[in-house]
Amino acid sequence: MSLEHPILRQSFATIEAEVGEHHLNPEQWAIARRVIHATADFDYLDLLQFSPGAIAAAISSLQQGQPIITDVRMVQYGIQTLVDKTFQNQ
């Protein structure tokens, strides 16, 4: 089962075509692509920085059911369904 809507897949394909080759590993690219999608700002490709181990730590926390805290309602709604379907946490 795919958790991505066809329009989202099309948008990601457009971003991938526009960016082409990049310096990010697959995990970093997945995050950068979503940031670019959310902001429509391709400069984030070079602005984002990832601390070593940060992505693995985030995934581990989600797998353990740790809460995601945000003060932005739109962010909450945007991630709630996806996280609930993939990690069964709030």
Alpha-carbon distance of 16 to 19, in angstroms, equals: 5
Query: How is residue 33 annotated by DSSP?
Result: H
37 is catalytic: yes
Contacts for 48 with CB less than 8 Å, ≥ 6 apart: 28, 31, 32, 35
**Known catalytic residues?**
37
